[in-house]
Amino acid sequence: MVIETRSPKETFEFGKKIGELAKAGEIYTLIGDLGVGKTVFTQGLARGLQIEEAISSPTFTIVQVYEEGRLPFYHFDVYRIGDVEEMEEIGYEDYFYGQGVSLIEWSNLIEEILPQRRTEITIEKDLDQGFDFRRITVRELGV
C-alpha cells in the first residue's frame, strides 16, 4: 500500500489510523531519512493507541515505553546503536514478543534480529511534489 500525504497533519492522521488498528504483539519498522516525518508519523500512531503523553524520539535511550494507552507502546530509535548486543542488553525480545506494539526507527541497522513477521513503513520525500509531500509505503513482511 502506498499513501501520499501533503502536510504533517496528514502524515500524523495516517499514523493515527495505523495505531487505531494496531494489535498486541505487532511490530512496525520505520525507515526514512532525517527530516522526513518519522516522529510526526510516530506521534500519530501513539495517538491512535490512545496515548496522550508527548512522544519524542528516544535517540539516546534506544527505547521509550508508554503504558497508559489501550496497549503498551515501545518506541525504539536505534540510530546511534553501535552493536546489536546493545539491543540484547535492554532485553529487546521482551518488547518485540510482548503484549504491546513496537515501532523501530532506523530498523535497517538491526535487520538481523528483526522478526520476519512485521510491517515495514518507509517514508520518502519528493521535493518535486512540494516541500511537505511524503510517500508512505506500507508492506507486510513474513505473512
User: Can you tell me the distance from the alpha carbon of 5 to that of 12, in angstroms, rounded to the nearest whole number?
Assistant: 9
For the stretch 85-139, pLDDT in tens is 889 998 999 999 999 999 999 998 899 999 999 999 999 999 999 999 999 999 9
The DSSP secondary structure of 62-112, one letter per residue, reads SEEEE-SSSS-EEEEE-TT---THHHHHTTHHHHHTSSSEEEEETGGGGGG
For the stretch 60-82, pLDDT in tens is 778 999 999 999 999 999 988 88
What's the pLDDT score for residue 54?
87
pLDDT at 13 over 80: yes
Is residue 11 within 8 A of residue 40, CB to CB? The reply is yes
Task: Look up the pTM and report it.
Answer: 0.91
- 3-state class of 125 per DSSP? strand
Distances (CA, A) of 27 to 46, 99, 133, 141: 13, 11, 26, 10
